[in-house]
Structure 1
């Protein structure tokens, strides 16, 4: 059989160890799904387009590159929220779209005849995805496919951002030359890295209270080992942004905790805010960092997005991999300073009494080992998730910068294909409402995530942001628009095929449910009921 356009895309993806294509197939991209078997790729059909995007994002975060294809127009625009989050949080997802044919476009232009799912504009999807990807292009002919696809995938891998490829629906099965060689994925250094590293290392040695804050890009570019050498070589305090939690094992001299303002632990906040030199490597700045970054320019060094800025000076080009490598080399040129002792979490209380937020996270913390990948949602408990004692490296995944609720449940689908760790989702009931159908995908494909839904009947995070006084007054009523329709979550999960679903109201029962879920190789749902007026320890 002739090598085709669909084959070309799949061949390039499999060269980079992508073995799963997420999506909701449609006529415009059916030929792509038909071709996956010949390339050893599993097509995972999700319960919604949004879930497909989140799943591809979770897979990319776990494995390094993901791929997704849904219907043009209705599917693509539904999924754009997920890809927007991937763009913000440096997750390289290849979005593949079967676009209109030449005949479709001619009919639209000449006769005002809409093609399927068209808005009446010829480039709706392409234009929209240019806003949330690092590269977006259309291939109208088979001859154009290698250039469009190679540029897109190279950009995704080197820039750690999603990309968009639109293929004329009529050319999927057209003959196409096979890839001629590997993609050029090496990122050339800017030539400034050695000098910048020497300057930064000198500043760290001269400072009295320096601290290195590790961000997302360190994990995305595989620089954790070099960072460990840097920290040890300089004897410096170190902290991580929430997105980078567990990029290195948490503990040991210098460990200062997860910095996730405004609810970081007092010890972590003190270490970061009192640092006379703060070196932020690969950090994506969420809104909660605004006062830190704007108010501390003269004590901050930043390196992200291929740029370095030292104490308010002009930004300079620098490739982060070369920079961190050079910093690690600089670190061993002199003896390290004595590093301060680690900031260790307090010991958990015994499992006793009715469930509270505190006990949910304490019991989860007790259950954690290196087999789990913790995937918290954006919800009232995210500050508590920041302090979970995650074991080992790469045991945590969250979307805390984009902060779209519901990400966790669907991202766990993708993560379950991309890592050997077992996803342990911790989600509010409001977020679960958004992507609950992902349980169906888990069952259909025999995946094993464990989903804990903290059930308090309200969008509690929104209530907290709007009127936090509600939580300190047991007789207060929540805002009417944050009240959720009550679901029977256990019955719902059973209807989707989840056989291990239970609801718990005590700490001891949560321990038992976690143990039962761990002993099973199937997906599980645990509904942890807490009082609507209860707050996590970090917020109370």
Structure 2
């Protein structure tokens, strides 16, 4: 039962908790302290990060796992620090609620020069209008409940970030709660039936159909339905880089990653020669399409997204991914006979060579046999991501990256959100030294909240992704002693890794140590690149030059 009376802040907390938000990430400031006090006394646990950007990335990762995440910051200096993470959430379709404190309504009268103000009091709101699907300022008690429900409903419907500004003198204002179900709008079912009939006819007539799994299957929690469809029809499935792990990558129906001209040649030929390419939740981004080297014939394609479905050159604007995929599951699609398809190679056993310097290729060869069912892999942008593209993730929805917006520094704070949302899994973080220096201080947050990610720093003395494109001293970073961070923090364990034998010892020690984080400083040659990165940068380098 709803209480007869509550406050604006308490009602917002209540609605977030109903939507499975049990943690809120952020840093307090005077304009949001009253709301922080309410959070502290609620069932939602505050996770204080080292920096607002870390909070934003952690909330993004949490949202990808739970469906909704929250970052809570103060006005101006806090809110504008999460602009980058909100932009990533928008670009990569993640439902993050950005909650910002603000000067009180009465304080703003007369337009005074209050601290943290930039230009006008609504400047920050105007910024977030460009990065979110819905926004509100909770400055009216009569409409506060309705506005909270409207904005949260938009986040869930569109799987994109929203912005809630809470003036500090409104936090404890009394209101009567208005419980409103957050339901998707009614849709006309006939276009779904028509699209399903056309798609089924096309699939059944095809001799070599293939499914391309995209990121929206993960964002909308549809990856289980994908596996049902594959097992029902025996149609082989590939995935894009952003959609990696939408299908368990050791499933017999999975053939490997499709990245246009950057794919393994057998996968590229199989997909591009298909007479029926079923793209489910695929965003047609440059990285997913191998820097636009993909050759997908629209006349042979079915493409369903959260916004529309296209079959050949016929578009159904009101037919969305979730309903379309459920329609395929219920339809009479004939089961394929087992046929010759590409297959992801089985993991190669790793035997450390004595006194042999570790390389990127050998590091990832070993990591592929290190994963188990309790491992959640998070790859930062750079060779950490591109090398990870070539390894197989055993179970669906246990890989995460920023493979479109591609912001450096995502992975370490993302591990906080992942482990708090999924406490039974242990994050394995793959991060370059350049990216680590941006947000790696969040290992202190991991220590504070007793989290235990395994962090592997690909230490190649700089921005390794850029060197093969266009090199210069601007790609170098200052050499940190990453393995000694546990000494600084008084928590965790660190390992220096320069050889294959040292890697083996460090990984086994990290697996056995569960009382805190582990950080492996893997020293690589600055010009040692993964095969995947070489393929990628050979294309990008031509564009830069």
State the TM-score bracket (shorter-chain normalisation): over 0.9
The 8 Å contact of residues 381 and 536 in structure 1, kept in 2 or not, is answered as no
Task: For residue 337 of structure 1, report the CA deviation from its aligned partner.
Answer: 3.9
Q: Does 1:488 align with 2:481?
A: yes
Q: Does 1:345 align with 2:345?
A: yes
Pick which of 314-323 and 5-14 moved more: 314-323
Matches within 5 A, 1:385-400: 385-400=388-403
Matches within 5 A, 1:109-508: 113-184=112-183, 188=187, 191-288=190-287, 289=289, 291=292, 296-330=297-331, 332-341=332-341, 343-348=343-348, 349-352=350-353, 353-419=356-422, 420-466=424-470, 478-508=471-501
Pick which of 419-428 and 300-309 moved more: 300-309
Q: Secondary structure at the match of 2:430?
A: strand
User: Whose helix proportion is higher, 1 or 2?
Assistant: 1
Distance 1:189 1:221, change over 3 A: farther
Task: For residue 323 of structure 1, report the CA deviation from its aligned partner.
Answer: 0.7
Distance 1:29 1:539, change over 3 A: closer
Distance 1:179 1:464, change over 3 A: farther
Query: Which structure 2 segments of 5+ residues have no match?
Result: 535-545
Distance 1:158 1:340, change over 3 A: farther
Pick which of 114-123 and 182-191 moved more: 182-191
CA distance in 2: counterparts of 1:448 and 1:69, whole angstroms: 24
Distance 1:163 1:187, change over 3 A: farther
- 2:518 aligns to what? 524
Q: Secondary structure at the match of 1:495?
A: helix
Pick which of 386-395 and 152-161 moved more: 386-395
CA distance in 2: counterparts of 1:383 and 1:32, whole angstroms: 41
Task: For residue 209 of structure 1, report the CA deviation from its aligned partner.
Answer: 2.2
Task: For residue 150 of structure 1, report the CA deviation from its aligned partner.
Answer: 0.5
Distance 1:282 1:158, change over 3 A: same
CA distance in 2: counterparts of 1:185 and 1:222, whole angstroms: 16
Task: For residue 63 of structure 1, report the CA deviation from its aligned partner.
Answer: 1.4
- 1:32 aligns to what? 35
Task: For residue 242 of structure 1, report the CA deviation from its aligned partner.
Answer: 1.8
- TM normalised by structure 2 equals 0.91
Task: For residue 274 of structure 1, report the CA deviation from its aligned partner.
Answer: 2.1
CA distance in 2: counterparts of 1:517 and 1:292, whole angstroms: 40
Task: For residue 355 of structure 1, report the CA deviation from its aligned partner.
Answer: 0.5
CA distance in 1: counterparts of 2:117 and 2:152, whole angstroms: 27
Task: For residue 498 of structure 1, report the CA deviation from its aligned partner.
Answer: 3.4
Q: Secondary structure at the match of 2:397?
A: coil
Task: For residue 262 of structure 1, report the CA deviation from its aligned partner.
Answer: 4.8
CA distance in 2: counterparts of 1:425 and 1:7, whole angstroms: 35
Distance 1:234 1:162, change over 3 A: same
Deviations 1:40-72 (A, max 9, x none): 111001000100100100111121110111111
CA distance in 1: counterparts of 2:152 and 2:380, whole angstroms: 28
CA distance in 2: counterparts of 1:401 and 1:407, whole angstroms: 12
Q: Secondary structure at the match of 1:244?
A: coil
Task: For residue 101 of structure 1, report the CA deviation from its aligned partner.
Answer: 2.4
- 2:57 aligns to what? 54
The 8 Å contact of residues 272 and 296 in structure 2, kept in 1 or not, is answered as no
CA distance in 1: counterparts of 2:198 and 2:410, whole angstroms: 40
Query: Which structure 1 segments of 5+ residues have no match?
Result: 467-477
Pick which of 487-496 and 151-160 moved more: 487-496
Deviations 1:401-420 (A, max 9, x none): 11001101111111110112
Deviations 1:170-207 (A, max 9, x none): 11011122342543257746541122112112212222
Pick which of 191-200 and 81-90 moved more: 191-200
CA distance in 2: counterparts of 1:204 and 1:273, whole angstroms: 16
Pick which of 147-156 and 236-245 moved more: 236-245
The 8 Å contact of residues 260 and 293 in structure 2, kept in 1 or not, is answered as no
CA distance in 2: counterparts of 1:263 and 1:507, whole angstroms: 28
CA distance in 1: counterparts of 2:135 and 2:143, whole angstroms: 14
The 8 Å contact of residues 357 and 381 in structure 1, kept in 2 or not, is answered as no
The 8 Å contact of residues 498 and 525 in structure 1, kept in 2 or not, is answered as no
Distance 1:300 1:293, change over 3 A: farther
- 2:542 aligns to what? none
The 8 Å contact of residues 203 and 333 in structure 2, kept in 1 or not, is answered as no
- TM normalised by structure 1 equals 0.92
CA distance in 2: counterparts of 1:190 and 1:126, whole angstroms: 37
- 2:541 aligns to what? none
